[in-house]
Amino acid sequence: MSTINLHTHLEGCVRLETAAELAAEAGVSPPTEGWDKALVMRVPSDLTLFLAHVAAAYPLLGSHGALARVAREAIVDAAASDCRYCELRFGPLTHVRPGFDLDAVIGAVCEGVRDGVEQTGIEAGVVVCVLRHHAEDDNMAVARAAARRAGDGVVGFDVAGDELLFPDLGAYVRPFECAAAAGLGLTAHVAEAGPASNIRDAYETLGVRRIGHGTRLGADAEMLAWSVDHGMCLEVCATSNVFTGAARSIAEHPIHRFLDVGCNVVLGDDNPITIDTTLGREVRALRASGLTADQLALIETTAMEVAFCEDSVRAWLRDGSTS
């Protein structure tokens, strides 16, 4: 069993009925084709179309009430899919509006996550993302705001966005240093669209040990061996990789190879509403594609070690897995 979700994006967690209600509240016109077609991808395509479906929720998320609600519902939905610990990530700068600043945006998501945790009894933390296309000073402001909430809802820091258009990680060094100094866990979206060597770059430039996706590593034996040697951990979101075209199918997903060579792997559902999945469905699909119960148990153990949670939560996760 695998019950720890270490890679899920708030913006891909907006329930369809919530989208309709938030749109009505905010005076946002519904898309002509309806929220279902705007938010949910039905067939695999490419990363551009995938991100367009995620971005369709952005106009709905520019208020305290909307962000807190979506964050709370994301935790409730995670709990309903057998998840015991969820790291919910999001890019706060996208949701800033006049009178609704970075601290308020991050505070709203932390409040929603805390309410979801109280409602469900699972544990969760917030991972703040800087986005590659934003200016360095803006990303520095995001890092400072994340650092102010370290230990108070925010547990980690990430860089996401278009890896091909913005490949230079040097622009994120200062924000990552700020986040690390505040004690936040570090992860980075790399080698999803760009080459596997971006994993080594992220390790050397930003100091990350956790990698969002890293799917391209499956085609690079040398970098895969390097990743094993350096204890890198891949946050695998298998269904998402199929929908973005990064993997042909779950059966052909490189997770099988990663595990065979001893590379650390944990799981996520990436954008569960966008691709109609949950952590539970990811686990079942991977099991059906050949992952063994022992491999899934190893994934669970690895996730307990690399989660950005406090040690008390880590102990609670370990206790629950042995009882």
Contact 243, 9 (CB under 8 A): no
Residue in 68, 140, 158 with CA at minimum distance from that of residue 108:
68
When the beta carbons of 13 and 23 are compared against Zn ion, the nearer one is 13
Per-residue x/- marks for Zn ion, 196-215, CB under 5 A? ----------------x---
Shortest distance (Å) from residue 47 CB to Zn ion: 11
Residue closer to Zn ion, measured from CB, 179 or 246:
246
Residue whose CB is less far from Zn ion, 212 or 272? 212
Q: Which residue number, 108 or 246, has a Cβ lying nearer to Zn ion?
A: 246
**Do residues 181 and 175 make contact, with C-beta atoms less than 8 angstroms apart?**
no
Q: CB of 237: closest distance to Zn ion in angstroms?
A: 7
Q: Which residues is 157 bridged to in the sheet? A: 128, 186
* Residues 133/185, Cβ–Cβ less than 8 Å: no
Cα 36 to Cα 46, 93, 129, 187, 222: the distances in Å are 19, 25, 26, 31, 42
Pick from 134, 122, 184, 197: which is nearest to 158 by CA?
Answer: 184
- Tell the smallest beta-carbon distance from residue 253 to Zn ion (Å): 15
Q: How many CA atoms lie within 13 A of 179 on its CB side?
A: 30
Question: Taking the complex as a whole, how short is the minimal distance between the CB of residue 213 and Zn ion, in angstroms?
Answer: 7
Please state the closest distance from residue 189 (CB atom) to Zn ion, in A.
Answer: 6
Please list the residues that pair with 312 across neighbouring strands.
none
Taking CB under 5 A as the rule, which mask of x and - marks residues 2-31 in contact with Zn ion?
------------------------------
Which C-beta is closer to Zn ion: that of 23 or that of 196? 196
Which CB atom, from 48 or from 292, has the smaller least distance to Zn ion?
A: 48
Quick check: helix, strand or coil at residue 168?
Answer: coil
CB of 292 to Zn ion, least distance (A): 26
Helices (H) and strands (E) in the chain, counts: 14, 8
Contact residues for Zn ion, defined by CB under 5 A: 212
